[in-house]
Chain A
């Protein structure tokens, strides 16, 4: 009972599902315009669009996008990730997680950061799960 008291039933946290416009709004590369509001980055490659959840996989800080170096750099302990969120330096144990994306009836991208796709070291790569919503083909 004592423990249960400390686990609230309802929490007033921002919704994990939101819309971020249509795929045509994004050019190839990393878009940081939603970082402040939703803690995500939108990355578009030649054939895919996906959303990286902006949380370092080491201890949960928000990395910075360094456009000149074409990488994400975490200010807390120095983990580095490439433009697709794949770790290549520092203590991060795995690439940054990606949020679930889908297109709604109006062609808008719907993001759900409550469902994350991971690629743990030595584990299965969930980033290619198109059906599940790991990316949108463009």
Chain B
């Protein structure tokens, strides 16, 4: 008789004191959900296009024989309707979005415009760079305004990018089905910081010079790529063939570094960032618009719904 389970203990396991469902039932339920997910995932192995990961990155084709799908294809076309045909009313409330993504993009436009104008007066050479900055500040018509617009917009863009990211975290907008767009956004954040960093050196003043000296000194310690980092010396890296050398075009922050910084700042990174931005905006549409809270109904609409029900 000692082997038979204590009826009291069994009861405790099957029915919790504070919950209607027992512990066993809960575990069973959890196991069931887990099994379903596992089955779904296993299906993905036979056809990767069916997985959530695939659907979050690539376009999915709809059944073209359905006229509703065909009209949907037109309405959700990002080129035909840059703004969505309809949006969640709450998704455009400023307290919800802060408008940070839009402001960031606006600042990018400002920076592109003022940056191109600055290029008319700036030479990326050791002899001219700092002199051109002084020239812009004191002699070029509207030069001071131009430079300060570029400078302040740059500072602001870094801040608004972070705030945009913060907002996305707070509203849980990184979750399914937007996980791919979150990744695109993280890449854009890195590109924004790189734009900021490369632009820092361009005035060729003490501040920028030492900032880039410090920044690229960190690159020495990159694992596998820097000559002072883990596995660097074992891979035969020296100060003359590692990642820092490739970034600076030399072993010191000199004219090559200034020129490279200029090209990455004005052409390389903005180009890549623009492509990522296009994908970023397109994905917002494809993932169902700006992520928002559950739709709130107007009183009139609520009556309509209750009428229908009765």
Contacts and interface: CB of A to CB of B under 8 A. Distances in A.
B39 interface: no
Contacts of B247: 6
B256 A11 contact: yes
Interface string A1-44: 00100111001010000000000000000000000000000000
Contacts of B213: 59-61
Contact of B217 (A3, A13, A59): A59
B254 interface: yes
A14 to B, nearest CB: 9
B210 A7 contact: no
Contact of B250 (A13, A60, A61): A13
17 contacts: A6-B249, A7-B245, A8-B249, A11-B249, A11-B251, A11-B256, A13-B250, A13-B252, A59-B213, A59-B214, A59-B217, A59-B218, A60-B213, A60-B214, A60-B217, A61-B214, A76-B214
Nearest to B252: A13
Interface string B228-249: 0000000000000100011101
A76 B214 CA distance: 9
A60 B218 CA distance: 9
Most A CB contacts (10 A, CB to CB) among B217, B245, B254 go to: B217
A14 B245 CA distance: 16
Contacts of B214: 59-61, 76
A56 B286 CA distance: 51
Contact of B251 (A6, A13, A59, A76): A13
B250 A8 contact: yes
Nearest to A7: B246
A80 B38 CA distance: 58
Contacts of B256: 8, 11
B252 A76 contact: no
A61 B172 CA distance: 42
A76 to B, nearest CB: 6
Interface of A: 3, 6-8, 11, 13, 59-61, 76
A76 B206 CA distance: 11
Interface string B140-179: 0000000000000000000000000000000000000000
B217 A7 contact: no
| 3 A-B pairs with the lowest CB-CB distances in the bound complex, closest first | A60-B217, A59-B214, A6-B246
A76 B210 contact: yes
Interface in B252-285: 252, 254, 256
Contacts of B250: 8, 11, 13
B249 A61 contact: no
Contacts of A11: 249-251, 256
Contacts of A6: 246-247, 249
Contacts of B252: 13
Given A7-B246, A59-B218, 11 more contacts: A3-B246, A6-B247, A7-B241, A7-B245, A8-B249, A11-B256, A13-B251, A60-B213, A60-B214, A60-B217, A61-B214
Nearest to B213: A60
Interface in B82-104: none
A8 B240 CA distance: 9
Contacts of A7: 241, 245-246
Contacts of B245: 7
Given A6-B249, A8-B256, A11-B249, A61 B241 contact: no
A12 B245 CA distance: 13
Contacts of B254: 13
B290 to A, nearest CB: 38
A86 B16 CA distance: 67
Nearest to A14: B252
A59 B245 CA distance: 16
Given A11-B251, A11-B256, A13-B251, A61 B246 contact: no
Chain B CB within 10 Å, residue with most, of A3, A7, A60: A60
A76 B211 CA distance: 9
A59 B256 CA distance: 20
A61 B213 CA distance: 7
Given A3-B246, A7-B246, A61 B210 contact: yes
